[in-house]
Amino acid sequence: MSPAATPYETVIGLEVHAQLSTRSKMFCGCPTTFGARPNTQTCPVCLGLPGVLPVVNRRAVEFGIRTALAFGCRVNEACRFARKHYYYPDMPKNYQISQYEEPLAEDGFLEIDIEGGARSIGIQRLHLEEDVGKLLHEGTLETAQASLVDFNRSGVALMETVSRPELSSPEEAAAYLRAFRAVLVFLGVCDGNMEEGSLRCDANVSIRPRGSAKLGTKVEIKNLNSFRNVQRALEFEVRRQAQALDAGERIAQETRLWEAERGYTRSMRSKEFAHDYRYFPEPDLVPLQIDRRWVEEIRAGLPELPRAWRQRVVAQYGLPPYDAEVLTQSRALVDYYEAALREWAPASGTAADRPKVLSNWIMSELLRVLPGDDEQAVRGSPIPPRHLVGLLRLIENSTISGKIAKDVFQKMFDSGQDAPTIVERDGLTQVADEGALGQVIDSVMAANSKAIEDYRRGKKEAKGALVGQVMKATRGKANPALVNRLLEDKLSQT
């Protein structure tokens, strides 16, 4: 739906919860490994047993500060934790340790690239808290009489970041989430794995008559756990609200749940009382006074962020912005690209098209066989950057054709061997022997007199068919440039 198509404008704010990549939980020493057997990573603290004392994980605070600095936030000198009270079986203490009045950091921004330019989206606050357990329903949701609880996730360090309501379309919201994820992944504070729930998103959305200064009634949507779902859910919700207003109805301020399989949002009535959280300062934790020297140390260690990296490679190598965007889906992929480029094109004597050739191969081949947003998968690629460059060198010096190279790529991926080894073993070297190729061309021409006739009558495409026949006869090993030249010579002779 294009914005101009409706009389309303959309106002969206996003709350993103990111699991921090700490080894241990936020307030206890239990491990945070995903996928462990249920209820094997718990202790009295994260089970909420009486009489225990939480202790803050220093690394989680460091990660929070690192992220805050990347977003240009002010890191508060003093911050404290608070109890947020509500009842739900995934939370055994009946309160979540979070931050309320004095969060770790406030007032930053995130720049997003959207069609037609860049926008800066305000970040209101960033705070630390603990995750809750995981609920599984026995049987289907409709028929279940009981739920099963796994507390392995209970107490895992979470960072909540709240944007200002400055996103003006579902597309922008998805762009924000993508940019947000990329920053966290580059900082190494979150693995960004949305399928495993490392990054989760809630949205606040309202619409108002175009040009109106007053905000409309805001609806909170939960359960937006992929870029696609953020966009779909918001598109649905904006449409639902517009239809309601068109029909003269009022929008209820409520929490709605996105049902991804069914493609709609539905009201969660049980949350009626949920907003009375009765926050108060957590008596079991003393306040934090963030040392400025610590902040400056963390600032000094910030890496180049995805947006800066993209701008640099676009300017430096002439890489299309699209390629740069694809490559920044993980830190590992950027590292892969850079390692390969260093290997292939050292500072001196850089062939101008190598950066693009390399990104083409990464996008069309490597990302076909590897999930590019999976840090571990990319780092553990059976084809390390050095091997990919080895393959590209064989194309560059005409040892193999681009077509054969794709087969070799697959064999490299399957075996972990390098390109020269495979090409040698399987006899894939291009036929670049003029005499041998000339014989093949002669027999192809003899068998395709019609194509030759067509060619001479001016139908130049006929040559392509002949080249194809030669390639087929040599099982793709002929050097295409040489075939073209030889064929042209022969066609012009006779």
Site residues for another protein per CB under 8 A: 22-24, 28-31, 37-44, 47, 55-61, 80, 85, 87-89, 135-138, 144-151, 257, 267-270, 273, 276, 278, 281, 283, 285-289, 291
Q: Please, which residue, 19 or 359, has the CB nearer to another protein?
A: 19
The residues, any chain, with a CB within 8 Å of residue 320's CB and separated by 6 or more, are 314, 356
Place of tokens 């108002």: 208
Choice between 268 and 465, CB closer to another protein: 268
Residue 143 burial class via C-beta count within 10 angstroms: exposed 0-12, middle 13-18, buried 19 and up: exposed
CB atoms within 10 A of CB 28: 20
Q: Compare residues 270 and 493 and give the one whose CB is closer to another protein.
A: 270
Strands 74-75 and 117-130, sheet pairing: unpaired
Query: Shortest gap between Cβ of 131 and another protein (angstroms)?
Result: 16
Nearer residue to another protein within complex by CB, 278 or 368: 278
Instruction: Give the helix/strand (H/E) hosting 444.
Output: helix 434-447
Query: CB 291 → another protein: shortest distance, Å?
Result: 8
Residue number, 59 or 490, with CB nearest to another protein? 59
Q: What is the largest CA-CA distance in the chain?
A: 98
Nearest distance, CB of residue 268 and another protein, angstroms: 6
| Residue 49 CB, nearest approach to another protein (Å) | 8
Residues 384, 387, 389, 395, CA torsion sign: negative
Tokens describing residue 381: 């690629």
The phi and psi torsions of 4 (rounded to 5 degrees) equal: -70, -15
Q: How far is the CB of 89 from another protein (least distance, A)?
A: 4
> Which two structure tokens, joined as six digits, stand for 125?
């606050």
Cβ proximity to another protein, 154 vs 163, nearer residue: 154
To the nearest whole angstrom, how small is the minimum distance from the Cβ of residue 315 to another protein?
A: 38
Nearer to another protein, 104 or 345 (CB): 104
Which CB, 55 or 447, lies closer to another protein? 55
Min. distance of Cβ 54 from another protein in angstroms?
10
Which tokens belong to 422? 């495979």
Measured CA to CA, the distance from residue 99 to residue 126 in angstroms comes to 9
**Judged by CB, which is closer to another protein: 81, or 236?**
81
**Which of residues 56 and 242 has its CB atom nearest to another protein in the complex?**
56
Nearer to another protein, 291 or 296 (CB): 291
Contacts within 8 Å (CB) and 24+ apart, 344-348: 344/389, 344/392, 344/393
Question: Which is closer to another protein, CB of 219 or CB of 444?
Answer: 219
Query: Judging by DSSP bridges, how do beta strands 255-259 and 219-224 pair with one another?
Result: parallel
Least distance to another protein, CB of residue 187, Å: 16
C-alpha to C-alpha distance for 132 and 154, rounded to whole angstroms: 4
Classify 396 as helix, strand or coil: helix
Q: What is the DSSP string of 302-341?
A: PPPPHHHHHHHHHHHH---HHHHHHHTT-HHHHHHHHHHH
Instruction: Report in angstroms how near the CB of residue 288 gets to another protein at its nearest.
Output: 6
**How many CB atoms neighbour CB 226 within 10 A?**
16
The distance of closest approach from Cβ of residue 165 to another protein in the complex, given in angstroms and rounded to an integer, is 27
> Residue 112, Cα to own-chain centre: how many angstroms?
14
* Minimum CB distance to another protein, residue 46 (Å): 9
Residue 119 forms beta bridges with which residues?
Answer: 112
Distance between CA atoms of residues 392 and 386, nearest Å: 10
Query: What is the DSSP track for 155-219?
Result: T-EEEEEEE-S-B-SHHHHHHHHHHHHHHHHHHTS----TTTTSEEEEEEEEEEETT-SS----E
Distance in Å, CB of 71 to another protein, minimum = 22
